[in-house]
Structure 1
Amino acid sequence: MERIYDDILHEEIYVNSYTNGLKAFVIKKKNFSKVFAGYATKYGSVDNKFVHPKTNEVVEVPEGIAHFLEHKLFEEQEGNVFDRFAKFGAMANAFTSFKETVYYFISTQNFYENLEILLDFVQNPYFTDQNVEKEKGIIAQEIRMYQDNPNWRVYFNLLNALYVNHPVKIDIAGTLESIQRITKDDLYLCYNTFYHPSNMIIVVCGDVEPQKVFDMIERMEKTKEYQSLIERMYTEEPPGVNQKRIEVKLAISNPIFYIGFKDTLNDLPPYEMMMKDIHTQILSEIIFGKSTDFYESLYKEGLINQNFGFEYTCEPEYSFFMIGGESKDPDKVYERVLEHIEDIKRRGIDKEEFERAKKVVLGSHLRKFDNPEKLSVEFIYSYFKGVNIFEYVKEISSVSFEMCEKRLKEFFNESTSCISIVWPAD
């Protein structure tokens, strides 16, 4: 067991490595009543094509299988895992993202009993032809529900406009057609490939005893042998966007929109990727933050409301920036956004704004350290990208004015932008 103490953040973390490649982390939070525990695999919706770890053949599985697998792991031969957690007073759930699947619980009591349940069910899949067929109907209903959700629709339509080939453009749950092709054998293949301990981590955040956590994991780990690295395969993605505009109509009262910028600076080493992420977040706050004159002018003109916001997604193979919300005239906002970016490029970044934005971004990240759930999920995301979350926070303060100006010129360009709009149905 290794103990790491951060003198600046005053955070204490314990790490334990196992012979099968699994790593476990305890982020010690003294006097916190709530404890978060997550069992995560570096496996998400974009991982549909990979090299079979035993045959070395290229395998392509149906879209949506990572999400399908997440659903199925909660079903046991004896019943439902949620009932077991409820017995010990824990709130349990899971989520599948583009790159990760995370199973977790949050509790204020019976922590070790709940941890035992988490470790047990994630390691014991139970798939049959019958329960797989039954799940298809449940997930098909979920897909239809999301298709009618304007916020979900405007988001994935934007990704479809941004990306030509990359599977990030595909709905995490898959399609109505793709989930029908999922079989029990597909699920076991993906489980045995991606749910190996060497591709997983366990993160616990709260006032718990690290050695007791690590000993329980050691006792309950089923897989003992190490597995070679997983080779994922992605279709080559061109630098340009797929289409400049995508729009649909749904039963809503006001139009909603997202403007997207496709990042072509990818495949960077972890540290460079982290710095790119930080530069872009600071820039986003300088250009579009709620304290800017730009935001205030759009708001006063009635072109946006308080739902207006932005987000940057930074991954090794793909990255994109999106900004949007509700507007009576999304096209006008798109035009103003592009004009505003070009104006800042001409004038340059204001140094006072730069310092203010750094503080905003730093404060946003520091607040996560007071929330076990947010901190743990952010830790998982960062770890799988090869980034230390503590170093991440420190580097925000070290960002230079010149590097942000350089990032502004290389990223925010009209040629790699597009817009997605959901209009009210007639």
Structure 2
Amino acid sequence: MNKQTYNEFAETLYTEKLDNGLTVFLLPKNEMAKTYGIFSTNYGSIDQTFVPIGQKEKITVPEGIAHFLEHKLFEKEDHDVFTDFGKQGASANAFTSFTKTAYLFSATNHIEKNVKTLIDFVQDPYFSEQSVEKEKGIISQEIKMYDDQPDWQAFMGTIKAMFKNHPVNIDIAGTIESITQITKDDLYTCYNTFYHPENMTLFITGNFEVEKMMELIKANQESKKFEKMEELKRDFPEEPKEVAIKEHKINMPISIPKCTIGIKESSSELHGDEFLKKDLLQNMVLDHYYSKGGSFYQELYQDKLIDGSFYFETTLDKNFGYTLIGSNTENPDKFSKKVMEQLISTSNTSLTEEEFNRMKKKKIGQLLRSMNSLEYIANKYIHYHTSGINLFDIIPTIQSLHLNEANSFIQNWIEEERLAICTIAAE
């Protein structure tokens, strides 16, 4: 078991890769009453086309199958796993994103029992034709619910406007039509391909004994048999540099319009340290321009183009990336025009040393505050780990960033062909 202390965070992380390939991270925080565990697989909604384990030809599975599989793993032949966690005083949940599926719990007691329950239910799939058909009705209702949510439609509408071919433009839950095609055999194919320990990460943080916890996890895994992991072969279509639709309009029964500007980011050519630097600079520059303390935010607010719903976010992943800036607004055309003009004008601007140092200090402060959250630490660590980055290396990387790197990023960040607008308008 590898032990690494990070003085910037006053944290000690224990790491071990087990014989079956499972990577385990243990971060004891004995000052906490709670313990949080997350068992994650490097498999999300975009992984639709791949070569199944034991086969030679690639297949394409129905849209929404990763999310469907997440739902079904909680249901066993004779019981529901949520009931098990409830009896053990734990709160359990799961989520599917574009790139990963994760199962989690938090609890203040029966920690070892809850960790064992977490690992065992994920590694013991049970799918029957009857339960699969029943789940289709449940997920259909979930899809219909999201179809009626303006915020989700604004998000996916902007993603669809940006990406032409990449499966990130497909709703994580799929469509009602696509989930009707899912079979029990499809679920087992995806499970057997992507839920191998070699493709998974277990992260436990909170109040527990490290040695005892690692012994429990090792004994649990040694009692199970897994075939040797083959190389995963995923396939993604070529994605053009420019956006798919410059302006995308969706009509819904709403009282106030919504408008989102999307920036189609690129990440496919970046790895390791360069990937992390771009990820940090995207976040820092976006915050500099659009946080409430920024001059441009004040300008939008004073012009009554935004309200309290205004937001910005940015995501960088291994083969796609995007930035979103949006708000409820009575004047979506004026809002989008003003934001687009500001973004395009950034190529002619530069930061001062004082501004950039302030941005770095703010980012470090935000990170240190976030590290008080067990959920943040575990989820962020896994997110960066899949890209070959250690979360605890972020502060040294921020400190090492130079002003010329930030200004180079800003001056090359925006190209008009990579900007899209999505408006949710009243019917």
Query: Shared fold by TM > 0.5?
Result: yes
Among 283, 290, 293, the alignment partner of 1:291 is 293
Instruction: Give how far 1:342 is off.
Output: 3.7
Contact 2:258 2:423 in 1 (8 A): yes
Instruction: Give how far 1:255 is off.
Output: 1.1
Could you tell me which amino acid in structure 1 is paired with residue 383 of structure 2? Answer: Y
Partner of 1:142: 142
Partner of 1:185: 185
Contact 2:22 2:197 in 1 (8 A): yes
Partner of 1:103: 103
Could you tell me which amino acid in structure 2 is paired with residue 213 of structure 1? Answer: M
Among 268, 281, 284, the alignment partner of 2:283 is 281
Matched, 1:256 2:265: no
Among 356, 360, 363, the alignment partner of 1:361 is 363
- 1:257 & 1:116 partners in 2: Cα distance? 45
Could you tell me which amino acid in structure 2 is paired with residue 275 of structure 1? Answer: K
Could you tell me which amino acid in structure 2 is paired with residue 240 of structure 1? Answer: E
Residue range with higher mean Cα deviation, 197-206 or 213-222: 213-222
Contact 1:345 1:409 in 2 (8 A): yes
82 and 265 in structure 1: CA distance in 2 versus 1, 3 angstrom threshold: closer
Partner of 2:46: 46
User: Secondary structure at 1:290's aligned position in 2?
Assistant: coil
- 1:335 & 1:397 partners in 2: Cα distance? 35
Residue range with higher mean Cα deviation, 27-36 or 406-415: 406-415
- 1:312 & 1:245 partners in 2: Cα distance? 20
User: Secondary structure at 1:3's aligned position in 2?
Assistant: strand
- 1:375 & 1:384 partners in 2: Cα distance? 14
Among 316, 319, 322, the alignment partner of 1:317 is 319
Percent of counterpart pairs with the same letter? 39
- 2:351 & 2:390 partners in 1: Cα distance? 29
User: Secondary structure at 2:233's aligned position in 1?
Assistant: coil
Residue range with higher mean Cα deviation, 256-265 or 92-101: 256-265
Q: List 4+ stretches of structure 1 deviating above 4 A.
A: none
Could you tell me which amino acid in structure 2 is paired with residue 230 of structure 1? Answer: L
User: Secondary structure at 2:202's aligned position in 1?
Assistant: strand
- 2:226 & 2:273 partners in 1: Cα distance? 31
Instruction: Give how far 1:31 is off.
Output: 1.2
- 2:123 & 2:2 partners in 1: Cα distance? 25
Could you tell me which amino acid in structure 1 is paired with residue 256 of structure 2? Answer: N
- 1:99 & 1:422 partners in 2: Cα distance? 27
- 2:336 & 2:352 partners in 1: Cα distance? 23
CA displacement 1:356-408 (0-9 Å, x = unmatched): 22222222222221000111111111111111101123211221111111111
Residue range with higher mean Cα deviation, 232-241 or 397-406: 397-406
Contact 1:286 1:354 in 2 (8 A): no
Contact 1:70 1:94 in 2 (8 A): yes
How many residue pairs match? The answer is 425
Give the structure-1-normalised TM-score.
0.97
CA displacement 1:157-210 (0-9 Å, x = unmatched): 101100010000000000111101100000000000000000001000112112
- 1:165 & 1:120 partners in 2: Cα distance? 37
CA RMSD of aligned residues (A): 1.3
- 1:93 & 1:195 partners in 2: Cα distance? 18
Could you tell me which amino acid in structure 2 is paired with residue 419 of structure 1? Answer: I
164 and 342 in structure 1: CA distance in 2 versus 1, 3 angstrom threshold: closer
Instruction: Give how far 1:78 is off.
Output: 1.4
Contact 1:289 1:295 in 2 (8 A): yes
Could you tell me which amino acid in structure 1 is paired with residue 315 of structure 2? Answer: T
Partner of 1:414: 416
User: Secondary structure at 2:234's aligned position in 1?
Assistant: coil
Residue range with higher mean Cα deviation, 248-257 or 148-157: 248-257
Give the structure-2-normalised TM-score.
0.97
- 2:225 & 2:37 partners in 1: Cα distance? 20
Contact 1:366 1:393 in 2 (8 A): no
Partner of 1:121: 121
- 1:358 & 1:290 partners in 2: Cα distance? 17
User: Secondary structure at 1:321's aligned position in 2?
Assistant: strand
Contact 2:349 2:410 in 1 (8 A): no
Residue range with higher mean Cα deviation, 121-130 or 339-348: 339-348
Matched, 1:77 2:110: no
CA displacement 1:60-96 (0-9 Å, x = unmatched): 1111000000000000111110000000110000000
Provide structure 2 residue ranges, at least 5 long, that are not aligned to the other structure: none
Partner of 1:345: 347
Residue range with higher mean Cα deviation, 223-232 or 125-134: 223-232
User: Secondary structure at 1:203's aligned position in 2?
Assistant: strand
Contact 2:259 2:336 in 1 (8 A): no
User: Secondary structure at 1:145's aligned position in 2?
Assistant: helix
- 1:147 & 1:404 partners in 2: Cα distance? 39
- 1:120 & 1:264 partners in 2: Cα distance? 38
The 5 Å alignment of 1:375-390 reads 375-390=377-392
Could you tell me which amino acid in structure 1 is paired with residue 347 of structure 2? Answer: K
Partner of 1:195: 195
- 2:28 & 2:228 partners in 1: Cα distance? 28
CA displacement 1:96-141 (0-9 Å, x = unmatched): 0000100000001111111111111001111001000000010011
Among 289, 305, 308, the alignment partner of 1:306 is 308
Matched, 1:166 2:166: yes
User: Secondary structure at 1:39's aligned position in 2?
Assistant: strand
Residue range with higher mean Cα deviation, 121-130 or 395-404: 395-404
Matched, 1:65 2:65: yes
Contact 1:287 1:341 in 2 (8 A): no
Contact 2:247 2:420 in 1 (8 A): yes
Could you tell me which amino acid in structure 2 is paired with residue 130 of structure 1? Answer: Q
